[in-house]
Amino acid sequence: MKIISLEMLNIRSYQHQKIDFPEGSFLLSGDIGFGKSTILLAIEFALFGLGDISASSLLRRGQREGMVRLEFEINNQLFTISRSLQKKGENITQVSGYISTNGNKRDLTPTELKAEILKILGYPKELLSKQKNPIYRYTVYTPQEEMKQILLAKREERMEILRKIFGIDRYKTIRDNSDLLRLDLKRKASMFENSIKRLSEIKEEFNKTKEIVSNLTSNLKSIKNDLDELKTKENNLKVTYEKIEKEFLDYQNTIREIAVKESELNNTKESILRMELRINELLGDNKNIDIKSELASKEANFNNLLKNISKAKDQIKIINKNRIEASKLEAEIASKKIFIEKLEKDVKLKQDKMSVLKGDYSRDINAIKKEIKSLENIIENIHLRKKGINKELDSSMKMKEKYNKRILELRIESSETQGRINNLDKDLSSLNGLTGVPLCPLCKQNISEDHKNREIQRILQEKDKLQLKLMESLDLIKKLEAKIDEIESEIIEIIIKHVSVQKEKISCLQKTLEETEIYNSLLNEITQFKSEIEKSNIELSKKLDNYNALSLSIEELLPFEKEINLLEEERHNLQNGILILKEAVKINADIQDSAKKQIEIANILSHLYSKRTQLSGIEFEKKSLQESLNKLTQERIIKEREEAEKTREVKLLTERIKGLSNELNKLEKYALEKENLERISNWIDKYFIGLMETIEKEFMESLRHQFEELFSRWLENLLEGEDLNVFIDEDFTPHIRQEGFDADYDSLSGGERTSIALAYRLALNRVINNLVDEIKTQDIIILDEPTDGFSRKQLDRVRDVLDMLGMKQVIIVSHEPEIESYVDHVLKVTKRDGVSRVEGQEYIVNRKTTFSI
């Protein structure tokens, strides 16, 4: 590891300081209490956190937050680690920090940071759970006041520390664990003890069972042989029995067949008897006739009879047909007669109606209609008051016209007279309006009052005359209008009178018209009915002729009806006779068949009787055979049961043997296992634990030897020329002999004690670094005041010692100015107003810092 830089914020006497570390050896110089040790503590804190250092001794008093950031390099990899402190109330704790590897930054908790740094530095993982870190404290950096502590500590304590540092602990752990393992193995072996006890017992049972099974197996074999023999015998007997059984069945069938055939024979005999009785019954006295020829002649007669019947039936058909036709004609004739009668009645009725009409109906109907039309025209014209229709009406109309004309003249006249009166009124009013001697409005001359009065008088006279005339005219108009009203009433009366005359004429004509029409239609109908009656009479006479002809033919054919009854009776008798003969013929044939069958059955029966005699002993034979077969089967079943029992027994015992064998195997395995466990346990006890002790001793001895060599060498170097001999005992306690005498550590001078302490430290450093390869802090050493109490001569020798160490980076803290001359660089630590500063970093002026503040 190579430390590159350190940055501190509020750490002890520092407020903010960044230090770039040079390569090689360098001195941190400065007065007491200036802040040298603080830098070293800050480095340790940055790497391992709190543990060996308390938080309150790190955070600058009066500050609430502090931070340390360390940059270092291992195997060309650049690491930055940063940790922070925070004060809450009176408590100061470490909060999360970060670690960055080649610029790859990760925020981690304090524990995570510690785990990561142990990994980076190659320190044992177990240190993670430990508060203190002896490897760093004894190989890289020992705080100044602890330098001599290892020498002053008690032997056991020292050995404890050294064991930890050298990793000798592990041998003790191996021994302890081995002992635990040995005990565990022993316990396991004793667990098998009880099970193994049963081993001989099971072995004995196993062998005994095997013997029983072997005996049972040979017994089972002989049973099987007996059983096979029995089965062969039984099968042979079964074959014979089956044959006999078949014969017995045959015998039984024969008996059954005999019974059947015997009953069949009896039935046949009975049936022949029945049939002979039936023939006698059918033929009666004609028993001896030739039935077949009789049947043939009867059948011939029957056929002839059938022909005659058919002929008669044809005739009867004709009669029936004629009868139907005659009855049809009868009905037609009757209906015709009714029809004619009805027509004649109708003619009579119509003739009666005609006799009621008494008028002259010779006139043409159209002429009457024309006359009615012209009369209707006259009525219309009268209503229209057309001239020339009626003289009386013409003269009244003329008179009315004359009076109307006169009224019109009088009205014109009256209106003129009224106009003249109006003019006179106007003149009067203008004359009455004149005052003084005015100009006459009429004659345009100056008029006098007299003249005016006269003129008024004249006008009034003229006005009276005119008014009289007007009155007369109006009176005359009234009189004329009354006259006209009278004439109008006369006219209306004339019209009514004349119109009613015409209407009378019309109604007379309409009556004549109606009656003429009725008369004509009745006449037509009567003529029509009469011709119908004539036609129907002709048809009726024709039908009557037909009917008479049919009646005659029916009468002629009537004998056939009587004949057919006789023929039918004959046919019935003949048919019966034929049926009887036919049955007799059939029964005769059946009798012959039955007789034949009777002979056949008798033959079969005689054959069956002889077979029954032959097989008569078979039943007994079958019974005795069955008995011996049953006996044999019983014997076989007993043997089979015996076989099954023995087989089951063998099976059960075989299973038991299997179980015992498994158990035996298991127990034998246990025994073997127990033996093994005991052997291993003994081996651990007798050899392995002893071996570990030896290895540990050997290892310690070799370490002690190395350590002693280095320790004496460093010490010799530091105390050159002094008569001081040292050796290290097995507890790593240095023993000093001064001038041939054993010397106590406390009796030595301060310088001598510091030299021994430094030599011890350096030797320790070298031995550990030689021992553990993977530790990455082998090439750095930090010495805080290692030269306390040294003489000038001794200080010179420190240089040689440091050269001999051959470290890449050596950090020395010292007040001694001599040391400045043999280190590569000097960093001056100063303090002003309670704040420390580091000076003398000019050698790194141009060096590029990897982080900014």
Ligand X SMILES: Nc1ncnc2c1ncn2[C@@H]1O[C@H](COP(=O)(O)OP(=O)(O)OP(=O)(O)O)[C@@H](O)[C@H]1O
Catalog residues that contact ligand X under the rule CB under 6 A. Answer: 12-13, 30, 32-38, 57, 60-61
Query: Which one of ligand X, Mg ion, none interacts with residue 786, CB within 5 to 8 A by kind?
Result: none
Task: Report the nearest approach of ligand X to the CB of residue 121 (Å).
Answer: 24
Residue 416 corresponds to which tokens in the numbers above? Answer: 């003129």
CA distance 689 to 650: 56
Stretch that binds Mg ion, among 32-40, 287-295, 570-578, 702-710 (CB under 5 A): 32-40
Q: Any contact of residue 133 with Mg ion (CB under 5 A)?
A: no
Task: Report the nearest approach of ligand X to the CB of residue 149 (Å).
Answer: 16
Task: Report the nearest approach of ligand X to the CB of residue 161 (Å).
Answer: 24
Which of residues 312 and 827 has its CB atom nearest to ligand X in the complex?
827
Query: Which one of ligand X, Mg ion, none interacts with residue 182, CB within 5 to 8 A by kind?
Result: none
CB 108, CB 97: distance < 8 Å: yes
Amino acid at 768: I
Task: Report the nearest approach of Mg ion to the CB of residue 174 (Å).
Answer: 41
Which of residues 35 and 49 has its CB atom nearest to ligand X in the complex?
35
CB 513, CB 372: distance < 8 Å: yes
Which of residues 11 and 692 has its CB atom nearest to ligand X in the complex?
11
Task: Report the nearest approach of Mg ion to the CB of residue 144 (Å).
Answer: 5
CB 207, CB 648: distance < 8 Å: no
Query: Which one of ligand X, Mg ion, none interacts with residue 263, CB within 5 to 8 A by kind?
Result: none
Task: Report the nearest approach of Mg ion to the CB of residue 789 (Å).
Answer: 15
CB 767, CB 158: distance < 8 Å: no
Stretch that binds Mg ion, among 34-42, 48-56, 85-93, 475-483 (CB under 5 A): 34-42
- Kind and range of the H or E run holding 141: strand 141-142
Which of residues 752 and 785 has its CB atom nearest to Mg ion in the complex?
785
Which of residues 57 and 850 has its CB atom nearest to ligand X in the complex?
57
Residue 334 corresponds to which tokens in the numbers above? Answer: 């009757």
Query: Which one of ligand X, Mg ion, none interacts with residue 529, CB within 5 to 8 A by kind?
Result: none
Q: Any contact of residue 836 with Mg ion (CB under 5 A)?
A: no
Which of residues 148 and 463 has its CB atom nearest to Mg ion in the complex?
148
Query: Which one of Mg ion, ligand X, none interacts with residue 714, CB within 5 to 8 A by kind?
Result: none
How far is Cα of residue 746 from the mean position of the Cα atoms in its chain? Answer: 95
CA distance 790 to 786: 9
Task: Report the nearest approach of ligand X to the CB of residue 829 (Å).
Answer: 6
Per-position b or e across 339-354, b if 16+ CB within 10 A of its CB: ebeebeebbeebeeee
How far is Cα of residue 796 from the mean position of the Cα atoms in its chain? Answer: 96
How far is Cα of residue 109 from the mean position of the Cα atoms in its chain? Answer: 53
689-718 and 750-771 are packed helices; what angle lies between their axes, rounded to 10 degrees? 130
Stretch that binds Mg ion, among 31-39, 227-235, 651-659, 770-778 (CB under 5 A): 31-39
CB 95, CB 113: distance < 8 Å: no
Which of residues 708 and 784 has its CB atom nearest to Mg ion in the complex?
784
Query: Which one of Mg ion, ligand X, none interacts with residue 80, CB within 5 to 8 A by kind?
Result: none
Q: Any contact of residue 396 with Mg ion (CB under 5 A)?
A: no
Which of residues 39 and 718 has its CB atom nearest to ligand X in the complex?
39
Task: Report the nearest approach of ligand X to the CB of residue 815 (Å).
Answer: 6
Please list, in sequence order, all residues whose beta carbon lies within 8 angstroms of the beta carbon of residue 70, skipping any fewer than 6 positions away. 3, 5, 6, 7, 42, 43, 46, 47, 80, 81, 82
Stretch that binds Mg ion, among 37-45, 186-194, 339-347, 590-598 (CB under 5 A): 37-45
Which of residues 17 and 37 has its CB atom nearest to Mg ion in the complex?
37
Task: Report the nearest approach of ligand X to the CB of residue 695 (Å).
Answer: 43
Among 37, 142, 268, 390, binds Mg ion (CB under 5 A): 37
CA distance 318 to 307: 17
Query: Which one of ligand X, Mg ion, none interacts with residue 825, CB within 5 to 8 A by kind?
Result: none
Q: Residue 255's closest CA among 584, 575, 503, 616? A: 616
CB 761, CB 138: distance < 8 Å: yes
Q: Any contact of residue 13 with Mg ion (CB under 5 A)?
A: no
Q: Any contact of residue 25 with Mg ion (CB under 5 A)?
A: no
How many beta carbons lie within 10 A of that of residue 513, not counting itself?
A: 17
Task: Report the nearest approach of Mg ion to the CB of residue 30 (Å).
Answer: 9
Which of residues 37 and 594 has its CB atom nearest to Mg ion in the complex?
37
Which of residues 82 and 814 has its CB atom nearest to ligand X in the complex?
814
Which of residues 32 and 384 has its CB atom nearest to ligand X in the complex?
32
Query: Which one of Mg ion, ligand X, none interacts with residue 60, CB within 5 to 8 A by kind?
Result: ligand X
Which of residues 755 and 836 has its CB atom nearest to Mg ion in the complex?
836
CB 1, CB 777: distance < 8 Å: yes
Binders of Mg ion: how many residues, by CB under 5 A?
Answer: 1
Stretch that binds Mg ion, among 30-38, 280-288, 552-560, 671-679 (CB under 5 A): 30-38
Task: Report the nearest approach of ligand X to the CB of residue 814 (Å).
Answer: 9
Task: Report the nearest approach of ligand X to the CB of residue 143 (Å).
Answer: 9
Q: Residue 135's closest CA among 47, 56, 72? A: 47
Residue 10: CA atoms inside 13 Å, Cβ hemisphere, count? 16
Q: Any contact of residue 814 with Mg ion (CB under 5 A)?
A: no
Which of residues 60 and 704 has its CB atom nearest to ligand X in the complex?
60
Task: Report the nearest approach of ligand X to the CB of residue 142 (Å).
Answer: 14
Q: Any contact of residue 755 with Mg ion (CB under 5 A)?
A: no
Please list, in sequence order, all residues whose beta carbon lies within 8 angstroms of the beta carbon of residue 434, skipping any fewer than 6 positions away. 441, 447, 452
CA distance 837 to 28: 12
CA distance 27 to 224: 111
Q: Residue 706's closest CA among 122, 151, 166, 160? A: 166
Residue 594: CA atoms inside 13 Å, Cβ hemisphere, count? 19
Q: Any contact of residue 29 with Mg ion (CB under 5 A)?
A: no
Q: Residue 24's closest CA among 845, 805, 840? A: 805
**Minimal CB distance residue for Mg ion:** 37
Which of residues 33 and 419 has its CB atom nearest to ligand X in the complex?
33
**What binding mask, one character per residue, do residues 724-753 give for Mg ion by CB under 5 A, x or -?**
------------------------------
Residue 343 corresponds to which tokens in the numbers above? Answer: 């027509």
Task: Report the nearest approach of ligand X to the CB of residue 154 (Å).
Answer: 27
DSSP labels for 225-262? HHHHHHHHHHHHHHHHHHHHHHHHHHHHHHHHHHHHHH
Task: Report the nearest approach of ligand X to the CB of residue 37 (Å).
Answer: 3
Q: Any contact of residue 594 with Mg ion (CB under 5 A)?
A: no
Q: Residue 36's closest CA among 78, 6, 73? A: 6
Q: What are phi and psi of 318, to 5 degrees?
A: -60, -45
Q: What are the residues binding Mg ion (CB under 5 A)?
A: 37
